[in-house]
Amino acid sequence: MSQVQPGNRIAVTGATGFVGQILVKHLAVHGYEVVGVSESAKPPPGIADYLHAYRPADLTRGWPKVRNLAGLVHLAGLAAVGPSFDRPQEYITTNSAMITHLFEQALADGWQGRAIVVSSGAVYGGAVDPKGFTEESPLLATSPYVVSKLLVERQAEYYRRRGVDALVVRPFNHIGPGQHPGFIVPDLTAKVVAWQPGAELPVGNLDSKRDYTDVRDIVSAYQALLELQEPRDATYNVCTGVARSGREILEAICAAVGKPVPPTVATDHRAIDPSVITGNADRLGSETGWEPRIELQTSIDDFVASTCVNEPPIQQVPQSGESGSR
């Protein structure tokens, strides 16, 4: 197995995205030399000073000349569930092609590093377990996005059988500072900010419950898995173990912006969506000591604050075993 530790060179694909930028900063602060890989011609100013190197590349066409890596976190890909229904084959082709090019190059180079392949907690389906979905829970293809992630996981399994040290992570819903529109917190925040008393707020299904984890906790989990010397498994959930309704998210946003909770009118609902998704990260916690530390209200407060500035706030997430406010 690989041994990854601070001082090593780590590549982050999708480095210019929401999670990628947070991960680049997190790894750099913890002593890693970070190589960013993304389609953008150059990195955004917010992460430029944190990068040891940057390689612009379309990973659907091939892997760039990035060598001497101890580890890699593969974040690049199409990520939003909703648009995948309108572009199903694009999601499947794009997300799969990146894995093929990445690991074929790894095999050609005889690469011995640790790869973290990011899937999604959205792959789970079926009856809800009171303890939350574990890595052994049934999987269900509920969207073209999920189909693409299930395919990516099987590709990782194939390359692992060929000798690549690849771990699959299934993070559940992300929230936190810097998140882009197209997800519940940014979209609801924009609506609440624009809302005027006396009007109804148009919303989607606020009754469904999801397991939301702050992005800074999530990247801390990725670091923990990069550094895990003897993984007992190949797949790990990253989540809080607590499901929150869309209405709870709305209430937290209203508290953050200082507005009363408005009356709402539902305008959109996908019948295929499960009503409750809760994860279970006991496997990750038992092997690495990781646990989520940032409370929902803090995460939303920080997101709202980040929308008022050009750069999301950098918060050092306490590592396993350290104290920190929840």
Q: Give the pLDDT band of residue 39 (cuts 50, 70, 90).
A: very high
User: Tokens 């002593």 map to which residue?
Assistant: 31
How far is Cα 230 from Cα 233, in angstroms, rounded to an integer?
Answer: 9
Q: What angle do CA 82, 244, 305 make, to 5 degrees?
A: 80
* Residue 321, pLDDT score: 32
AA letter at 293: R
How far is Cα 5 from Cα 228, in angstroms, rounded to an integer?
Answer: 9
Rounded to 5, what percent of the chain is helix, strand, coil? 35, 15, 45
Query: How many CB atoms lie under 10 A from the CB of residue 41?
Result: 7
pLDDT at 1 over 80: no
Tell me the three state secondary structure of residue 43: coil
pLDDT at 217 over 50: yes
Cα dihedral 83→89→94→99 (10° resolution): 120
pTM: 0.90
| Better-scored residue on pLDDT, 320 or 23 | 23
List the one residue out of 11, 16, 114 whose CA is nearest residue 63.
11
- DSSP codes of every residue in 94-156: HHHHHHHHHHHHHHHHT--SEEEEE--GGGB-SSPPTT-B-TTS-B---SHHHHHHHHHHHHH
| Better-scored residue on pLDDT, 79 or 91 | 91
Tell me the three state secondary structure of residue 72: strand
Tell me the three state secondary structure of residue 64: coil
How far is Cα 136 from Cα 126, in angstroms, rounded to an integer?
Answer: 12
How far is Cα 323 from Cα 326, in angstroms, rounded to an integer?
Answer: 9
CA distances to 143, 182, 238, 281 from 172, in Å? 15, 16, 6, 10
CATH class of the region 9-306: alpha beta
User: H-type helices in the chain, by residue range?
Assistant: 18-29, 45-48, 81-84, 88-109, 144-161, 184-194, 215-227, 246-257, 282-288, 296-306
Tell me the three state secondary structure of residue 1: coil
Span 260-298, pLDDT tens digits: 999 999 886 554 556 888 999 999 999 999 999 999 999
AA letter at 62: G
Q: Which phi and psi (to 5°) does residue 222 adopt? A: -65, -40
117 with 156: CB under 8 angstroms? yes
Contacts of 193 (CB under 8 A, 6+ apart): 257
Mean pLDDT of the chain: 91
* Residue 15, pLDDT score: 98
Q: Give the pLDDT band of residue 82 (cuts 50, 70, 90).
A: confident
CA distances to 142, 178, 267 from 308, in Å? 35, 10, 28
